[in-house]
Structure 1
């Protein structure tokens, strides 16, 4: 399931980050199993997935073109996995604060994104696909 299917009225907000409407949908829904962030998004704002506890852990796919992930983007949420594109070159030290992600996938050379575990409460599985 895509949170913003093709043809949706809400557009990605470019350099300003992912749409606040999409965040509201995530915050209030218990039934979103996967999140595909729209093409054209450049930045994930801080706290974008804060307090997001759907009925099953979130599976998040971040598209090519996103270059920035803000502090505490995945703070205090039920995150099954997240996949970062090759355009993300760094993560903030507190990216996963108060979260225990199941799996983090990078399209990058092994260990090229430093700071493990990026503030996570656990030591998540990390897969490098570079």
Structure 2
């Protein structure tokens, strides 16, 4: 239990798993930071902005297209490794676009985006707020 992650800045993130100890070291093996909360399975390093917020306007039951290319442009990759995990039943992934239908009452969704070139992986969590045009939130 635990793991190691090579970070884009050349540092290394180590998760001690059953010992509950995670730390980041630089190229000279100096500890940048450490944390020891409890037993953990795995640790990942997220860089700001870890949460990207988007504001959309929609009429009731409108289909919205969200181009994911701008979120996936951190790596020089062919985008074949783009993975979108959504926690909403109102979302369908079509290529590099999210097709989202927001029926009445749905005003927010969170999407976890992941881009990998096989060596490094960039992850983003996107919060999409939808304000219905025909029935604004009060």
- Report the TM-score when normalising by structure 1: 0.21
Larger radius of gyration: 2
- Report the TM-score when normalising by structure 2: 0.20
More strand by share: 2
